[in-house]
Structure 1
């Protein structure tokens, strides 16, 4: 599982370095040099969830619905801490642009210590409160026991999951896209094989899926710890944490935390609404939401490329190049979203059969996948602009925009449930949320208030 780390002085590939030197004339080749490795790492992570869905889905609709509820709870516990990746990438990238590499590495390692502590706390919460959590999310009587089992066991992997977030953010900020790709790719294969083994031959059912994923996530964390330790030694950097820096990191990332909480409320409200429609609707929504998340993270690869370019240029004090980069990345986001949308639309009948053998679930799933496909181009631009503003350190605006978009979604959701529009109406509300989010991000990106230069982004 542990790849050889890229030495500190070699972390940037030649193509990535060229992109950073000439951001105003960034080529397709240079964008791909940053985005493709990030894409591989990002897609590998949700493949964990998709593999779980495919394996558990053939146990029955109740088990699949239980996985959907528990997976939403688990991803919420993890993603409220996504600032460990996003915030670290922005900080490290700016420091790199300012020529302060040793300090950049130190801030990333501090983030890993913070991740381990938060992961331990959240792991205890997830294990002890699994029952109340899944019932709060609206799990049906049939699905609730399976959801509780999955959440309780998989909570043991939370420290590893958060360490993976923090370490990935550090390496992205250093423009090392290769190591996360290797670790995530090996882990995705190991997760699928181990989960199938524990679920069927061993006979643990949904508990085997949870145990396998927790074990693999912990293995990923160990691989990243080894990589960070070697990079620190190469820079003669002490490995002990700096408490002051840890407190400063928490304070600086409070706005990103708020942004993420708003987005998680939207996702959890969708799970709750699907649960209120019955076990079949919740099972279908679980598959559609997992596919949506997978494609969203694939689109986020372009956002990571934009973060690396924009953060580096702003850290170096060069704002002239940033506008051209943003315009180019927006076009790529729109085009890539069109490709993923067409692909999802074309494959929707095949995907429905692959994830479930229940005819009722397949019947409910197809319209949801059609709507998800229709909004992919919009989602492509949304993810690019979100990444640009995160890389620029514009977290306060993102926090308020997230809360406003979530409020619109909750209003639309109330209308959908009141009118009895079912799962198709729910996915229409998700599409509306995506459009509103685009409006907030587009208006902000056209202005200048987010173009703050320097290592800290202040002023």
Structure 2
């Protein structure tokens, strides 16, 4: 393997990309917390409607991440090759694609909102509340995707500050507007949905304005969109594997006991939060690795990959030590139920021990995504899910292993992914130079 000692980038450059990316990643969960707090005071039924509608709407962003991650990969290569106009044009095509897919989802969502909500809730009142919220919030679907595409191309040209400003502007104004519409205007749960759409309108408009100001051709180019969809196919399949695993884990936890599902939810939300922290480093890796390969320097890409991997390991170890230290205190901030508190340790120590592994896996995911190696990541994730996570989850149900079995499955899933990305990284086969990956 090529010696990459001298190919590192300044840590400040990595942080300059990672910290704003973390802000963008955290903005939506924080807004959801505000929205939940506002609607929660309306009563249990509106809160249940928001929860169910929110789950359905969130599937759009979770399944279509290729509009951000895939666009970053393609844009970063062109940016590294010194072809900024073409790099920004990738953002134009991703935005057209976002609008087309978003309109399809809007129409399909209006038709399927009722059946889907009814299938998930089984309660007519909750279904009615969820559908009422969702049918309004779905008008933001094309705008959510435009924002994702905007994040993608701006990260690719290593402009991390504007996406943060745009997302915070939308969510910040909406957070202020939400209680006004819900309480002062008397719109109730529907006011929350309108505020959600307002947030998406503001953020999407700012990203579109940024594209127009770049003065690049704005016409659709079907060939480029087809290439983006090819990369998107692999990332969607990868996302579906994650969804299958985590939905199965929730289902098995729910069938174990009420206390087990409560404990699983608490630890899983902490896992998701820390994944955002570690994923911000992966986003920096995407931009830097893609740019290095676009500039024709496999040596620099290898050096950045090693550097980012070490950062991920260090961050993971720090998080491991931190959450081990607060193991007796932090769970009490989420619940006072003795049954739930008794179940939490069965998942907690898996969650803690996995942080260093997650740090490396997420970092190398970012490296390989930046290189456009999505097909390998798709196959590795599907195989790890099929061999590790899913069999152990369902075995936990059959043999009564509870949370320990579920989180053993997650641990095996992560270990298998770690082995796969480490082998791929060390092989160097992902470091294909050029402005466009063949």
Q: Taking structure 2 as the reference length, what is the TM-score of the superposition?
A: 0.86
CA spacing shift, 1:214–1:62, aligned 2, 3 Å: same
2:367 paired with 1:384: no
- Give the Cα separation in 1 of the matches to 2:113 and 2:335: 26
Match of 2:225 in 1: 246
SS in 1 for 2:217: coil
Match of 2:412 in 1: 432
- Give the Cα separation in 2 of the matches to 1:151 and 1:280: 30
Mean Cα deviation higher: 421-430 or 386-395: 421-430
- Give the Cα separation in 1 of the matches to 2:101 and 2:114: 21
Match of 1:258 in 2: 237
Mean Cα deviation higher: 367-376 or 439-448: 367-376
- Give the Cα separation in 2 of the matches to 1:273 and 1:151: 27
Match of 1:36 in 2: 19
Please report how far the alpha carbon of residue 190 of structure 1 lies from its aligned counterpart in structure 2 after TM superposition: 3.4
- Give the Cα separation in 2 of the matches to 1:209 and 1:44: 17
Q: Residue 256 of structure 2 contacts residue 400 of structure 2 at CA under 8 Å; is this kept in 1?
A: no
Match of 2:285 in 1: 306
Could you list the runs of 5+ residues in structure 2 that have no partner in the other structure?
A: none
Match of 2:73 in 1: 90
Please report how far the alpha carbon of residue 239 of structure 1 lies from its aligned counterpart in structure 2 after TM superposition: 1.7
Please report how far the alpha carbon of residue 38 of structure 1 lies from its aligned counterpart in structure 2 after TM superposition: 1.7
Match of 1:293 in 2: 272
Q: Deviations 1:381-417 (Å, cap 9, x if unpaired)? A: 1111111001111111111112112223211110122
Alignment of 1:15-414 (within 5 A): 24-55=7-38, 69-134=52-117, 136-137=119-120, 147-199=130-182, 207-231=190-214, 233=215, 237-276=216-255, 285-344=264-323, 368=347, 371-407=350-386, 408-414=388-394
- Give the Cα separation in 1 of the matches to 2:437 and 2:56: 34
Please report how far the alpha carbon of residue 186 of structure 1 lies from its aligned counterpart in structure 2 after TM superposition: 3.1
CA spacing shift, 1:257–1:413, aligned 2, 3 Å: same
CA spacing shift, 1:379–1:140, aligned 2, 3 Å: farther
Match of 2:433 in 1: 453
- Give the Cα separation in 1 of the matches to 2:352 and 2:46: 26
- Give the Cα separation in 1 of the matches to 2:307 and 2:151: 25
Mean Cα deviation higher: 125-134 or 96-105: 125-134
- Give the Cα separation in 2 of the matches to 1:341 and 1:53: 29
Please report how far the alpha carbon of residue 180 of structure 1 lies from its aligned counterpart in structure 2 after TM superposition: 0.9
Q: Residue 65 of structure 1 contacts residue 286 of structure 1 at CA under 8 Å; is this kept in 2?
A: no
Alignment RMSD: 3.3
- Give the Cα separation in 2 of the matches to 1:369 and 1:134: 32
CA spacing shift, 1:195–1:348, aligned 2, 3 Å: farther
Please report how far the alpha carbon of residue 284 of structure 1 lies from its aligned counterpart in structure 2 after TM superposition: 5.6
CA spacing shift, 1:328–1:61, aligned 2, 3 Å: farther
- Choose the corresponding residue for 2:396, options 395, 399, 416: 416
SS in 2 for 1:26: coil
- Give the Cα separation in 1 of the matches to 2:415 and 2:205: 39
Please report how far the alpha carbon of residue 242 of structure 1 lies from its aligned counterpart in structure 2 after TM superposition: 1.8
Please report how far the alpha carbon of residue 100 of structure 1 lies from its aligned counterpart in structure 2 after TM superposition: 1.5
Please report how far the alpha carbon of residue 118 of structure 1 lies from its aligned counterpart in structure 2 after TM superposition: 0.7
- Give the Cα separation in 1 of the matches to 2:422 and 2:122: 37
Match of 1:5 in 2: none
- Give the Cα separation in 1 of the matches to 2:46 and 2:131: 11
- Give the Cα separation in 2 of the matches to 1:132 and 1:450: 43
Q: Residue 62 of structure 1 contacts residue 279 of structure 1 at CA under 8 Å; is this kept in 2?
A: no
Could you list the runs of 5+ residues in structure 1 that have no partner in the other structure?
A: 1-21
- Give the Cα separation in 2 of the matches to 1:208 and 1:357: 32
Q: Residue 46 of structure 1 contacts residue 293 of structure 1 at CA under 8 Å; is this kept in 2?
A: no
Q: Residue 93 of structure 2 contacts residue 221 of structure 2 at CA under 8 Å; is this kept in 1?
A: yes
Q: Taking structure 1 as the reference length, what is the TM-score of the superposition?
A: 0.82
Q: Residue 302 of structure 1 contacts residue 329 of structure 1 at CA under 8 Å; is this kept in 2?
A: yes
- Give the Cα separation in 2 of the matches to 1:58 and 1:285: 25
CA spacing shift, 1:166–1:282, aligned 2, 3 Å: farther
Q: Residue 23 of structure 1 contacts residue 325 of structure 1 at CA under 8 Å; is this kept in 2?
A: no
SS in 1 for 2:298: coil
CA spacing shift, 1:240–1:355, aligned 2, 3 Å: farther
Q: Residue 255 of structure 2 contacts residue 397 of structure 2 at CA under 8 Å; is this kept in 1?
A: no
- Give the Cα separation in 2 of the matches to 1:365 and 1:312: 43
- Give the Cα separation in 2 of the matches to 1:151 and 1:429: 33
- Give the Cα separation in 1 of the matches to 2:254 and 2:33: 19
Q: Residue 66 of structure 2 contacts residue 231 of structure 2 at CA under 8 Å; is this kept in 1?
A: no
